[in-house]
Amino acid sequence: MRTKEDVVEEFRKQSICDAAMRVVAKKGVRNVTVQDIADEAGVAKGTVYIYFKSRDEILSTAMDAATEQLLQKLAQACSDCRTFRDILERRVTTQLLHFEENRDFFRMYLAMSEPLGERRLRKHSTYLAYLAQLEAVLQDAIRKREIRDTCVKRLAVTISSVIRDIVLHRIGEQKPPPLEDDVKFAVDFIMRGIGSK
């Protein structure tokens, strides 16, 4: 049973993580300090250290929480889909909407996946969980003969990269095309490459 102290601690941690995402979006991950995060959260620097050991632990926790939220959204969005194409369309739509609604998260994602952080991101548990979820969807589609039998690990990384780059362009464009157009483009592009013959 959760105590009042547990609820307060969870709230404080979440507030600090939310502040970290906002600061990273403004300053970039390399320039963020614990003091910046504390100022944004409206707490003393010492208070931050009650809940987190370091700046990197704050950023990692924030990234984990935001990615877990995305994984839950993806599972829920696809729960009633019948075909692989439907699942793919829902996954792409859900991801694009998630990043549109959580630009701070996306900026943090990009900052943490900069070339120097790329190795760390690729081994990050939430990234691996995202890939595992996608691999399971792909294996099921292969079993049902909806897509060609191919290496699901490589395919999951490829699909992830396609979606990530579309999101990157949407964030950078002053007037991105309608979300539905980018979803259709991504789904058609992927399906032409892996659809069953």
Amino acid 116: pLDDT: 47
Neighbouring-strand partners of residue 195: 147
Two tokens, residue 44: 């003393």
Residue 114 has pLDDT above 80, yes or no: no
Cβ 126 vs Cβ 63: under 8 Å? yes
**How far, in Å, CA of 74 to CA of 152, rounded?**
18
Paired tokens of 109: 């994602």
What is the rounded average pLDDT of the residues 181-197? 88
Per DSSP, the three-state class of 147 is: strand
Q: What is residue 118's predicted lDDT score, i.e. its pLDDT?
A: 53
> Per-residue confidence at 104, pLDDT binned at 50, 70, 90?
low
* Confidence bin at 62 (pLDDT 50/70/90): confident
Write the burial class of residue 140 (CB in 10 Å: 0-12 exposed, 13-18 middle, 19+ buried).
middle
- Return the CATH number of 4-194, one of 3.40.50.10800, 3.40.50.150, 1.10.357.10, 1.20.1740.10: 1.10.357.10
Residue 28 pLDDT: 76
Q: Please state, for a pLDDT cut of 90, what percent of the chain lies above it.
A: 48
Q: Is the pLDDT of residue 58 over 70?
A: yes
Q: What is the CA radius of gyration of the chain?
A: 19
Instruction: Measure the N-to-C terminal CA separation of the chain; round to a whole number of Å.
Output: 54
Q: What is the mean pLDDT of residues 112-140?
A: 75
Question: pTM for the complete prediction?
Answer: 0.75
